[in-house]
């Protein structure tokens, strides 16, 4: 249970595991939570799970296990939060969760600046293919 109420809670999801997450930067004093339920749904390798936890260690987040809707609702009540803030995601799972949460709470979804300029076609089936395109923009020389 928190020591003091917070009007805002930040939800960090799998598409925004960065210290430059706009929600964390915009609300640096707000409690933040990561939903671990995502890892079960992604069915990813242990190596990638380790990478995700290494990213999480760099963030000021509380890791919660269980149904994300239930955990976020519980935390909103525990912190006395009136607003839930997160960052955008193209995930259908994310869209569904946000739709449900917006029925109960004020929900603010912040844009994530693109890593690379928009492309006509970007192959996202493998990270290495994406990285070949991104690397040219990140390290131009």
CATH of the domain at 17: 3.40.50.620
**Domain range for 131:** 114-141
Question: Tokens 């799970």, residue?
Answer: 49
The greatest distance separating any two alpha carbons of the chain, rounded to the nearest whole angstrom, comes to: 50
Tokens at 24, concatenated:
């964390």
Q: Is 2 inside any structural domain?
A: no
Q: Do 34 and 49 contact (CB within 8 A), yes or no?
A: no
Residues 123, 104 share a domain = no
Give how many domains the chain has, as a whole number. 2
What's the DSSP call for residue 29? Answer: T
Q: Is 128 inside any structural domain?
A: yes
Residues 120, 51 share a domain = no
Q: Do 9 and 76 contact (CB within 8 A), yes or no?
A: yes
Per-residue pLDDT of the chain (141 residues; tens, 9 = 90+): 455 567 999 999 888 888 899 999 999 999 999 877 777 777 788 898 898 889 889 899 988 888 888 989 999 999 999 999 999 988 888 899 999 999 999 999 999 887 777 777 777 778 888 888 888 888 877
Helix (H) or strand (E) holding 108: strand 106-110
Q: Is 1 inside any structural domain?
A: no
Q: How many CA atoms lie within 13 A of 121 on its CB side?
A: 2
Q: Is 73 inside any structural domain?
A: yes
Residues 57, 13 share a domain = yes
Residues 85, 122 share a domain = no
């Amino acid at each position: 249970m928190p020591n003091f109420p917070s009007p805002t809670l930040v939800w960090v999801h799998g598409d925004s595991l960065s210290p430059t997450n706009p929600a964390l930067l915009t609300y640096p004093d707000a409690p933040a939570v990561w939903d671990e339920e995502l890892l079960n749904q992604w069915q990813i390798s242990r190596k990638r799970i380790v990478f995700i936890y290494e990213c999480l260690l760099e963030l000021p987040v509380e890791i919660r296990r269980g149904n994300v809707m239930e955990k976020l609702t519980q935390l909103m009540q525990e912190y006395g939060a009136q607003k839930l803030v997160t960052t955008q995601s193209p995930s259908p799972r994310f869209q569904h969760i946000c739709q449900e949460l917006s029925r109960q709470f004020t929900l603010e979804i912040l844009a994530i600046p693109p890593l690379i300029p928009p492309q006509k076609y970007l192959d996202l089936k493998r990270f290495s293919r994406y990285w070949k395109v991104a690397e040219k923009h990140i390290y131009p020389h």
